[in-house]
Amino acid sequence: MTMEQRILIDLSDIVGIEYACSRCSGRYLIPIDKLDAVIAQCPNCRQGLVSEAHITSGKRSDADALYELRTALMDTQGRNIGIRLQLSNSVFDGLASRAKI
Ligand SMILES: [Zn+2]
């Protein structure tokens, strides 16, 4: 017998966006419906979190992509769309290792 484990989430399960600073490990969780402005720099150490410009002209900036992600999530959460998002297996591995602690 072969078993397969998958983690699927409904769009309505996504309620926030977390910024994670690579320098100081600070984390900032913002509810999607409260995301009015992108946090471009870490409030603690001033490390850049989200680029407001893209190196390659013609592509969206990280900030623009983040706004579009927020808009898409807010727009789809109120609808009865029969889809779920699958998370990578590394998420399951992380949950399993936490359960052993
Ligand atoms: Zn920081």
3-class state of residue 41 by DSSP: strand
Residue 40 CA to ligand 1 centre (angstroms): 11
CA distance 51 to 66: 10
Domain ranges of the chain: 15-81
Residue 1 CA to ligand 1 centre (angstroms): 47
Residue 38 CA to ligand 1 centre (angstroms): 15
Residue 25 CA to ligand 1 centre (angstroms): 6
Contacts of 90-97 with C-beta under 8 Å, sequence gap 24+, read 91/7, 92/5, 92/6, 92/7, 95/7
Given this model, what pLDDT does residue 43 score?
95
Given this model, what pLDDT does residue 26 score?
96
28 Cβ contact list (under 8 Å, min separation 6)? 18, 19, 39, 43
Residue 51 CA to ligand 1 centre (angstroms): 15
Structure tokens at 97: 């290792």
Global pTM value:
0.70
Residue 65 CA to ligand 1 centre (angstroms): 21
Residue 77 CA to ligand 1 centre (angstroms): 31
- Strands 7-10, 84-87: pairing is antiparallel
Q: How far is CA 95 from CA 3, 18, 30, 63, in A?
A: 18, 18, 22, 30
Show pLDDT as tens, one digit a residue, over the chain (101 residues).
Answer: 888 888 899 888 888 999 999 999 999 999 988 888 888 899 999 999 988 776 666 778 888 888 888 888 888 887 888 889 998 888 777 777 877 76
Using alpha carbons only, give the angle 58, 60, 64 rounded to the nearest 5 degrees.
150
Residue 63 CA to ligand 1 centre (angstroms): 18
